[in-house]
Amino acid sequence: MTLTLQTATGNYGHTKSIIDGSLNNDKLALDWVEVSPIIGAFRRMIRGMEFDVSEMAISTYLCAKSFGKPITAIPVFPVRGFHHGAISYNTTLGISNPKNLEGKKVGVRGWTVTTGVWVRSILKEGYGVDIDKITWVLAGDEHVAEYEYPSNVVPLPEGSELPKMLASGEIAAGIGVGQVDSDDVKPLISNGRDAAVQYFKDKGVYPINHTLVVKDELLAANPWLAEELFNTFKAAKGSYITHLDAGADLSDTDQGIVKNGKDVGGDPLPYGLAANNTTMEAIIQACVDQKVIPSKVSVEEMFAPSTVSLS
């Protein structure tokens, strides 16, 4: 009997074979559910367990796991990239380097949002910023309803918007605030892409944004499932990499992924823990430092045991 699973993932080149069902077989069929943007699936999965398999922000997953949510990840990482360019600042406030943010207010969409976690880690590890000395202004809530914020995290004032606050100087900087219509707002880290690639070369960290999670009850009832899912998503990615290698009819997104591969010197979308252990260690430590999770966990315990050695 075929096990059919409701599966929510983004619509990417490397999930095309999942979406069109071409990799379904007599053992496993993935019934793709469109959620656009895919971030909408994270809350639905965490709070309502609406899907059998779901893409999930890595920091959201770590937070959810700390609260005992009945899901477990497999080491598939469908979205990743560089984040040095994700923070902008107001140039009229006397800020000459990232450390000048100490004592000021910085906006962010949500405390446990992955881009914010990575940027705060970059500020701390790469630029010596004491992130506890910043007041963080949040524009939204968290996917994990039970999560409680650190004391230096405050809500956005009612009726306010982060882009406008950044343009006016009400906040000194903002992470992931999008386009700001002001000549006073510039990237905090100049040549962000080059800085990010150098960060990778120095630390071996190629930031993971999303992973893939599965309901624990399904993994318990089907001991073969985690490995089968990993291999299915790996096969879908393999088809996409072949397309990229051919070099024809590449979209802007495709070209961006090719550039990532060149910058990291290999696979632009590495799956499996062997290729991602350093990055996973970094995001776990960042989540501890930023009180997204209460204590350090091992990389291995965050993933289905049968997938730990897969690559």
Q: What is the pLDDT of residues 25-34, one digit of tens each?
A: 999 999 999 9
Q: Are residues 18 and 96 in the same domain?
A: no
Q: Are residues 198 and 90 in the same domain?
A: yes
AA identity, residue 305:
P
- Cβ–Cβ < 8 Å for 240, 16: yes
Q: Are residues 188 and 110 in the same domain?
A: yes
**Arithmetic mean of pLDDT, 196-222:** 97
Residue that terminates a domain, selected from 178, 203, 228: 203
Residue found under tokens 């910023």: 129
Reported as a pLDDT band with limits 50, 70 and 90, residue 166 is: very high
- Cβ–Cβ < 8 Å for 214, 231: no
Q: Are residues 89 and 197 in the same domain?
A: yes
Q: Per-residue pLDDT for 23 more than 90?
A: yes
Residue that terminates a domain, selected from 203, 238, 273: 203
Q: Are residues 146 and 287 in the same domain?
A: no
Q: Are residues 66 and 90 in the same domain?
A: no
Residue found under tokens 């004491």: 130
- pLDDT of 37: 95
Apex CA 246: angle with CA 243 and CA 250, to 5°?
65
Reported as a pLDDT band with limits 50, 70 and 90, residue 233 is: very high
Q: Per-residue pLDDT for 140 more than 90?
A: no
- Structural domain of 188: 84-203
- Cβ–Cβ < 8 Å for 106, 174: yes
Q: Per-residue pLDDT for 126 more than 90?
A: yes
Q: Please give the share of the chain, as a percent, with pLDDT higher than 70.
A: 100
| Cβ neighbourhood burial of 234 (10 Å; 0-12, 13-18, 19+) | middle
- pLDDT of 178: 87
- pLDDT of 215: 98
- pLDDT of 209: 98
**Arithmetic mean of pLDDT, 219-240:** 98
Q: Are residues 75 and 94 in the same domain?
A: no
Q: Per-residue pLDDT for 240 more than 90?
A: yes
DSSP 81: -
How many domains does one find in the chain?
2
Q: Are residues 148 and 111 in the same domain?
A: yes
Strand, coil or helix: 158: coil
Dihedral sign (CA 173, 175, 177, 181):
positive
Q: Are residues 182 and 49 in the same domain?
A: no
Structure tokens at 80: 């990743």
Q: Per-residue pLDDT for 182 more than 90?
A: yes
- pLDDT of 179: 86
CATH number at residue 277: 3.40.190.10
Mean pLDDT of the chain: 97
- Cβ–Cβ < 8 Å for 87, 182: no
| Cβ neighbourhood burial of 102 (10 Å; 0-12, 13-18, 19+) | middle
**Arithmetic mean of pLDDT, 240-262:** 95
Q: Are residues 155 and 295 in the same domain?
A: no
- Cβ–Cβ < 8 Å for 64, 46: yes
Q: Are residues 176 and 247 in the same domain?
A: no
Residue that terminates a domain, selected from 175, 203, 231: 203
Q: Are residues 42 and 123 in the same domain?
A: no
**pLDDT of 271-295, one tens digit each?**
999 999 999 999 999 999 999 999 9
Alpha carbons 64 and 79: distance in angstroms, whole number: 19
